[in-house]
């Protein structure tokens, strides 16, 4: 295994963020070797209390959600509303290369933690800022979560469903993870310039903008007015029906994906469907002829797939070297040999002795070894260590804890 240093070894990151998007970004920077300190309020990141939403045990002893977004970090608990807690936060930021937050702008300005204030004191600092709707525009101060700003307002939920059905059930964290990785890419670019020139920057990534970017291929296509691009539409009217999922005889859904319709149509209907009557059929080929016969072809396609099980079609598509995938459940993904073989998944043992499957961030290196995947730290677990590194004596830390200006894991409990 490579012994090459990780790319961000020696870089200091302070995270003052909650839930998923900001912490996800900081977790990725920790994967890259950065020394990340997560600052939490005495009540802790709200993500520590979402067990019921996810059907898992409550508490730090097996907190897979918190671990997913916060592995590799130190956790310090400060009451930044007190002078002493704020002073400690300021000392952390003064030593940092990167400061990540998802506080809304009015709160940042009241706390003098906005970029315009910080850049005067720390001109080389890179600030990573997550928001619901961005820094500009009439709705810049609205609260935003991935369900609302990413999924709903961006055009994902309102268009990407069958018109005869209903909007999808969004997954918590889906949009947040897009934002986290988008933010990381911007931070890394700004950090490179800061190290070269001494000039820091603020990197802004919003849930809304990320969602619009993710649907942008069809968003721009919709402006031409073609009725078949005015989503939502019926799945039977997708302009390329070779890109639609169909149900097999054993009740599985198989996603087909052949964007080059004219190039792959004859091979698919001949070799896979074994329907010679469809080869070069002028009703369905080339694709321009198909558009007047979409529903008819859809019904033929769906009927053929329903004749056999998923294994049959997987074998036929594989032999033809055509792209497809069975729509897997999460349990299947956790047991997928490809997920394990390509280092997507890892095992983590939690303090209660349970071993759980966790997901790595989706960027791997040839010359840099993967970091160990460790549980997320308890609330305040590293408070004493982090404050000691800032020059606080044990007596000073004890006094801060006694005054409620900071907490540690001993006080909070495991």
176, 201, 382, 408: which one is catalytic?
Answer: 176
176 is catalytic: yes
β-bridge mates for residue 40, sequence order:
77
378 contacts 67 by C-beta, under 8 angstroms: no
**How far is it, in rounded angstroms, from Cα 246 to Cα 326?**
10
CA 94 to CA 92: how far, in whole Å?
Answer: 5
Q: What is the phi-psi region of residue 68: left when phi exceeds 0, alpha when psi lies from -120 to 50, beta otherwise?
A: alpha
Tally of residues, the chain = 414
Number of helical H runs and strand E runs in the chain: 18, 12
CA distances, 130 to each of 50, 169, 200 (Å)? 21, 24, 17
Indicate the DSSP class of residue 45.
-
Task: Name the CA radius of gyration of the chain, rounded.
Answer: 26
Dist CA 147 CA 137 (whole Å): 20
HSE-up of residue 356 (Cα within 13 Å, Cβ side): 19
CA distances from 145 to 19, 88, 140, 179, 251 (A): 10, 29, 13, 11, 34
CA distance 313 to 331: 21
> CA 31 to CA 222: how far, in whole Å?
39
- CA-CA distance, 117 to 101, in Å (whole number)? 14
Residues serving a catalytic function are 176
């Amino acid at each position: 295994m490579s012994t090459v240093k990780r790319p961000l070894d020696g870089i200091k990151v302070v995270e003052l963020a909650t839930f998923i998007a900001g912490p996800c970004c900081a977790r990725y920077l920790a994967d890259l070797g950065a020394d990340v300190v997560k600052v939490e309020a005495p009540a802790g990141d709200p993500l520590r209390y979402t067990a019921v939403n996810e059907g898992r045990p409550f508490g730090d002893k097996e907190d897979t959600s918190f671990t997913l977004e916060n592995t590799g970090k130190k956790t310090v608990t400060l009451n930044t509303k007190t002078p002493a807690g704020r002073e400690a936060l300021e000392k952390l930021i003064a030593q940092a290369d990167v400061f990540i937050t998802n506080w809304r702008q009015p709160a940042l300005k009241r706390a003098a933690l906005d970029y315009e204030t910080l850049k005067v004191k720390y001109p080389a600092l890179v600030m990573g800022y997550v928001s619901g709707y961005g820094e500009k525009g009439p709705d810049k101060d609205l609260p935003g979560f991935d369900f609302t700003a990413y999924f709903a307002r961006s055009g994902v939920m309102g268009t990407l469903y069958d018109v005869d059905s209903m909007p999808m059930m969004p997954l918590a964290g889906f949009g947040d993870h897009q934002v986290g990785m988008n933010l990381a890419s911007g931070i890394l670019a700004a950090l490179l310039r800061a190290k070269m020139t001494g000039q820091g920057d603020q990197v802004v990534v919003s849930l809304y903008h990320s969602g619009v970017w993710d649907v942008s291929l069809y968003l721009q296509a919709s402006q031409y007015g073609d009725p078949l691009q005015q989503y939502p539409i019926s799945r039977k009217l997708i302009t390329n029906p070779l890109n639609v999922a169909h149900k097999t005889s054993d009740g599985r859904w198989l996603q087909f994906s052949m964007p080059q319709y004219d190039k792959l149509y004859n091979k698919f209907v001949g070799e896979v469907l074994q329907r010679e009557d469809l080869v070069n059929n002028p009703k369905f080929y080339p694709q321009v002829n198909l558009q007047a016969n979409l529903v008819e072809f859809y019904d033929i396609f769906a009927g053929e797939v329903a004749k056999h099980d998923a294994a049959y079609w997987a074998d036929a598509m594989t032999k033809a070297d055509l792209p497809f995938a069975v729509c897997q459940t999460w349990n299947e993904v956790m047991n997928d040999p490809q997920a394990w073989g390509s280092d997507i998944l890892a095992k983590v043992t939690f303090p209660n002795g349970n071993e759980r499957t966790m997901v790595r961030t989706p960027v791997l290196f040839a010359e840099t070894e993967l970091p160990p995947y460790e549980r997320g730290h308890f609330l305040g677990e590293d408070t004493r260590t982090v404050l000691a590194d800032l020059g606080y004596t044990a007596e000073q830390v004890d006094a801060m804890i006694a005054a409620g200006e900071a907490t540690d894991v001993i006080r909070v409990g495991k």
